Amino acid sequence: MTNQTARPVPPPASASILVLTLAHRVEAELGAALAPLNLTVARLALLGHIASVPGASFSDLARLGAISVQSVHAAVKAMVAAELVRDRTARAGSASTIELTAKGRRLLRSAEVVVAEVDERLFGPDADPFQHRVGSAIVAAFMNRNVS
């Protein structure tokens, strides 16, 4: 006679947990792919925000990235030192206007190629069918949303 034990019942499906699980995988894959460019996912996001919001202030960038103003200051300072961005009005008491340098624009274009490669690998037609469907649904949802 064999010892039969009841199989555990899986927990109910949670959209939050499923999205977080996939997000961790995407972040790990993207982080590894960006490493040769000396970029992190967070630094890429900040470069993207700076490029897409001309004249963005530190406060604007903090809101866009859902991070603290202090974190933006530290990241921008490092990117200024790396000659990726410049602060056109960097002086005490005045609002800053942060923009990409030519070097920063080149890096962002290189990163966009890497992101496209990761997207293709994780969500393209040859990817896991579930991930392909999820990727297509996410892109469609964001492309069709009403922005007001």
Mean pLDDT, the chain, whole residue set: 88
- Among 30-44, 83-97, 109-123, 131-145, where is mean pLDDT lowest? 83-97
Q: Determine the number of helices (DSSP H) and then strands (DSSP E) in the chain.
A: 6, 2
Long-range contacts of the stretch 128-133 (C-beta < 8 A, 24+)? 131/22
Residue 23 pLDDT > 50: yes
Which domains are seen in the chain, by residue range?
A: 41-143 (1.10.10.10)
* DSSP-derived pairing of the beta strands 98-100 and 85-87: antiparallel
Q: Taking residues 106-117, what's their average pLDDT? A: 98
Residue 5 pLDDT > 80: no
pLDDT, tens only, 52-98: 988 788 888 999 999 999 999 999 999 999 999 998 775 555 567 88
pLDDT of 55 reads 79
